[in-house]
Structures are given as structure tokens and as C-alpha cells.
Structure 1
Amino acid sequence: MAEHAMKKYFLKNGQEVSVTDFQAEYQALQPSCYEVIRVIDGKPLFLDAHYRRFVGTVESIGQQVPCSKQELAADISRLAALNDVQNYNVKLIYNDFEHGGTVYLFFTHTAYPTEEMYREGVRTNLLRMERKNPHAKIINQTLREAADTLMEEKDLFEAILVNEEDQITEGSKSNIFFLKSNSTGGEVWTSPADGVLLGVTRQHILAICREAGLTIREETISVSDLPDFQAAFISGTSPKVLPIHWIGDQELDVNDPLLRRIMALYDEAILADLR
């Protein structure tokens, strides 16, 4: 596994280890619970929500949670200080339960969208695969490899997963929202919670949309329904709220007023959390 960023140190069970020893020290075991947390100005963003989801993942496979939220926050701060890094993504992995469990914390390779992508949107396409246990952040190497292959072949930012019922669920590493215009200002559509990873960014988007009085529909979206939507966006730790310009051959409006409003509301939520 060579996904760690080339910084100086990572933490293994709270101990500082040189990244030059990452390959020797890291064990890619299954199952592996994980969480990716964005660090902005040295502070973990939306830590409460990330920690709750991590606890849920660990408990869903019958394991004991290895650290408190306060311990995780302290380790992230220590990792940032050790590496002199203030803005990047941190990855938390917990595995090797048969031997008491091992916790890894490291800066993972991070690619944030460019300003051009936020302005002009990104290209995506459909991939007929799904997560079997979407609520748990368990590493799924088969899905990851299939998505990466499609994205490389077609020069995509993301692959959008489609289940056996021909319904859109989520992105391979993101959640997906669709926007529909109407006389009252528009509706925000996304797949029901029971069939997707409950992304932290997704949760905050739903919350800010409700606070803004927007209409939210958590309903199944068939591939055949795509032409009914005027705009769409990806949500996630790294992309935040990222407009989709293309889904396959279907073009979407990256300047849709509702889309741009949600982007602004989410940026405001980030600033509020970091205060």
C-alpha cells in the first residue's frame, strides 16, 4: 500500500514512525475500518461527525472502539505538528483485530479540485457496481480498482455507482446530489440513507439545506430519470460541493442558481466549524 503522502512521520498505535518504514509497518488486512478527515489550518474539520461515523463502523463489525474523540483530536494535532502540515487530509485506519487491533494515522495523498473545476464542473460516468454494506467505511479494493480503471480510461473525476435495479446510489468515493428546478425555487434530490455511505459532507449539506428551507427528497433515482434534472454535484471531504458538468453524454448546468447557493452555504458551514 503506497497511499501515504510523502511527509516525515505517521502514527502507529500512537507511536511516531518514519514514513520510510511505512511499507514495512503497515498491514493491509481485511476488514479495515477507515475514516478520512480534512485538516484546515491545523484543525480537523467536522471531527464530531467523523468520529461518530468511525465508532459506528467499528461497532458494526463487533469490535471495540480504539480511541476517544479527544485522543483522536490530539493525535491529529500531533501528526500535523510533526510534519509541519496545516492543510491536508488525514487517514485513520483500524485493523488486525485478531491481535488486539492496530491504529494507523497518516497524511494520505490528497488532490483537491481546482478553481476551474469548481467553476466549470467535472466529468463523470456510470459504473454498475455497489457497496454491499454502504454504512460502514470498510476498504473495498475490488470496487476501488474498477472505479479507478474507468476514471483513467475515460478521464473522469468520479464514477457514479448504479445498483442491480438500475438506480444511482453514490459515487465511488463521494455522495451525489441532483437538482430539479420548479416554480418554488427547486428541489434537492439524493439517494435514501439506507443505500449509501452516510458521508459527513452529505450530512452537513442536508442540514444546511433544511435550515435554508430548501425542499429535500431522499428518494431512489433511476438512470432513466437523469434527463429530469438540471444540475448535479458531488460531495465529499476533498471535493466539498463540486459541480458535475457531464454524466456520460448528458450535460448539466454548472451555473444553476440553486447549485451555486448550496456551494456558498457549505463554505459558510466550514468557516463556522473552524471558529
Structure 2
Amino acid sequence: MSYGSHAYVPDARNESVLFNVNGKMLPREKAVVNVFDSGFMLGDGVWEGLRVHNGKVAFLQDHLDRLWEGAAALDIDIGLSQAELSARIEATLAINNMHEDVHIRLMLTRGLRSTPYQDPRVIISDATIVIAPEYKKADPETARRPLSLYTVSVRRGRADVQDPGLNSHSKINCITACIQAIKAGADEGLMLDPQGFVATCNSTHFFVVRKGEVWTSSGDYCLGGITRGKIIDLCRANDIPVFQKNFSLMKCYSADEAFTTGTFAGLAPVGEIDGRKIGSGKRGPMVERLQKLYMEHIHKDTVG
């Protein structure tokens, strides 16, 4: 069974990994939260996916800044400084002796509620902070094997409904999009914005390549992706024309190449959208070039 861009290699070491729950190191099976926790009860929180290379979290400052921005939007008091949270992440990696092919789910919720109710005034604890590291190597084939996408009916919403730039625990719109894509036999869902322009995928960002140009959405209806931003920066630094703009599905079907981006797998080629072959249907030269540039950039950030 394929899990699209999030396909991974199972690793038995995960059975003994310790998770960090509010500063306490706990075995995986005992790393639990209270049923009154805001994240469990209402999806009230924000999160980050972090990738460890060479014993260091790649682009950590970017991820922390996004977490802090989300917490501010939700009026959540994290209770730690960025330096303190960084130290907690480092301690979690150290106690587990983790250095490479590690993925961390960093979760922040508003904390415990005294009763099942959405009003934040019923909070009776500090914020909940969970650091869940796993040995999780992306399936090597993900970089080469083209993904299939399906355009779903679930739209990315406007900021006055639920800001799509907020990386909240509430991911129901993305989950329903993913379900639609799976039922259609695809790896992932391609989501449009309220005007019908291409926005993003349900769990990754989306790009097309047309006549040597790299296009991605305007960014108005998608999460401020860290990897997405790095690819845009790399294109600019390497004289590759790149545009953030509105474009329709018609421009996708006739693209030379397409790909997705995300923290976990980096760049993954797309070979099919809605049953239509994109370009050659295989990984193209632009995707291969950007994959190489991106890995060099990660190495520079975590070693250099």
C-alpha cells in the first residue's frame, strides 16, 4: 500500500524511543494526554513537523517562528522561550541518541480544560507541549516514483472562515480531501481555492514546471510551508524563474513537470493528475535539479 509522499521505511527502534510530554521523558506507549486536553477535545492547538539531519533539526528557527506565530493567533501562552523549547528538543534527541532519518512531531495545545467547552477561560493548566520523535526514513522511491493526484471538491477556505495559514490541530478539511483522493485511487488530493485556482495538496505544497518556469500558488490559501519557501528561495538564487500566482487546472494538465514539497520527503515528482499524464509521467530534469539543490541546502544548514 502506498502512502504517497509520506511513505516511509518501518524501523523497529521506534518501540524503545522516549517521547517528551511537558518536559517528562516517557515510553511511547505511556506518552499520553488527558481526555480534557484542548488538542484532543477540540483540536485547539498548533504543531510542527521537524526533520533531523546530521544530529540537528533542519531550519529549526523557521519552524519555531511559525509555531510562535500560530500560538499568537490562537492566543496560547507557550510558557517557554524559543531557546528553552529548542533545548527541550535537543534533550529529547540526546536521550534517544538520535542523529539521522528522524522525524519529530512537535505539538502544542492550550492545555487542560475543566469541562468539555470551547471557551478558553475554562483552561486550568499550562500549555501542553509534546515532542514525539521517530526513526522515520522516507521511502527512497518517493524521490523517483511519480505521485498521482486527484482534484478534490474540498476547498481551501478563506481567512475569515478558518485561516489556511494556521497549522492547527484541526485538519478535518485536509483529512476529508485525503479521503476523497484515496477513494479515487490517487496518492493525495489537489485542493483548489474559493475562486477555483490551484492552492495546495492536502498534506504537501504543489508546484508545476512550464517552459523552464516554476509556478506555485499565490500562497493566499495555503500554509506558509517551510520547504515551499526554501524551494522558492533556491530558484531565485539559481536563476530559475519562479512565480507565486493564480493558475487553473488547465495549466497543470499541460505542464512539463509537477512536484510536491514537504518537510518529510522534500521534493516528490508528480506524474499524474486526475488520470492525466503530466509531461513524460516521470521525474523530470527540473525536479531532479531542485532535489539536489534542496539536499545541498539542508546539508549547509545542519553542518555548515
If the length of structure 1 is used for normalisation, what is the TM-score? 0.88
Q: Aligned equivalents of 1:115 and 1:18: distance in 2? A: 29
What displacement does 1:73 show? 2.4
Is the CA contact 2:45–2:71 (under 8 Å) kept in the aligned structure 1? no
1:1-275 to structure 2, matched below 5 A, reads 6-23=15-32, 25=34, 27=37, 28-29=40-41, 30-86=43-99, 87-97=101-111, 98-99=123-124, 100-107=126-133, 110=136, 112=138, 114-129=139-154, 130-131=156-157, 132-181=162-211, 186-253=212-279, 254-275=282-303
Structure 1 residues 235 and 104 mapped into 2: Cα distance closer, same or farther (>3 Å)? Answer: same
Is the CA contact 2:145–2:269 (under 8 Å) kept in the aligned structure 1? yes
What displacement does 1:103 show? 1.0
After superposition, the C-alpha distances for 1:34-81 in whole angstroms (9 at most, x for unaligned) are: 111011232111101111111111111222343333222222222122
Q: Aligned equivalents of 2:203 and 2:95: distance in 1? A: 28
Q: Aligned equivalents of 1:167 and 1:67: distance in 2? A: 39
What secondary structure sits across from 1:63 in the alignment?
A: coil
What displacement does 1:170 show? 0.7
Structure 1 residues 62 and 23 mapped into 2: Cα distance closer, same or farther (>3 Å)? Answer: closer
Q: Is 37-46 or 233-242 further displaced after alignment?
A: 37-46
After superposition, the C-alpha distances for 1:151-182 in whole angstroms (9 at most, x for unaligned) are: 4434433211123322211111111111101x
Is the CA contact 2:102–2:137 (under 8 Å) kept in the aligned structure 1? no
Is the CA contact 1:8–1:82 (under 8 Å) kept in the aligned structure 2? no
What displacement does 1:204 show? 0.7
Alpha-carbon RMSD: 2.2
Identity of aligned residues (%): 21
Q: Aligned equivalents of 2:149 and 2:102: distance in 1? A: 24
Q: How many residues align?
A: 266
If the length of structure 2 is used for normalisation, what is the TM-score? 0.80
What displacement does 1:108 show? 5.5
After superposition, the C-alpha distances for 1:238-266 in whole angstroms (9 at most, x for unaligned) are: 12011111112121233432222111111
After superposition, the C-alpha distances for 1:188-221 in whole angstroms (9 at most, x for unaligned) are: 1011122211111011111111111121111112
Structure 1 residues 147 and 82 mapped into 2: Cα distance closer, same or farther (>3 Å)? Answer: farther
After superposition, the C-alpha distances for 1:74-109 in whole angstroms (9 at most, x for unaligned) are: 222221222333321111111135233111111268
> For residue 11 of structure 1, what is the amino acid of its counterpart?
N
Q: Is 88-97 or 100-109 further displaced after alignment?
A: 100-109
Unmatched segments (≥5 aa) in structure 2: 1-13, 112-122
Is the CA contact 1:128–1:163 (under 8 Å) kept in the aligned structure 2? no
Q: Is 87-96 or 147-156 further displaced after alignment?
A: 147-156
Q: Aligned equivalents of 1:222 and 1:140: distance in 2? A: 27
Is the CA contact 2:76–2:127 (under 8 Å) kept in the aligned structure 1? no
Is the CA contact 1:66–1:103 (under 8 Å) kept in the aligned structure 2? no
Unmatched segments (≥5 aa) in structure 1: none
What displacement does 1:224 show? 2.8
Structure 1 residues 117 and 18 mapped into 2: Cα distance closer, same or farther (>3 Å)? Answer: closer
Q: Aligned equivalents of 1:6 and 1:155: distance in 2? A: 32
Structure 1 residues 210 and 66 mapped into 2: Cα distance closer, same or farther (>3 Å)? Answer: farther
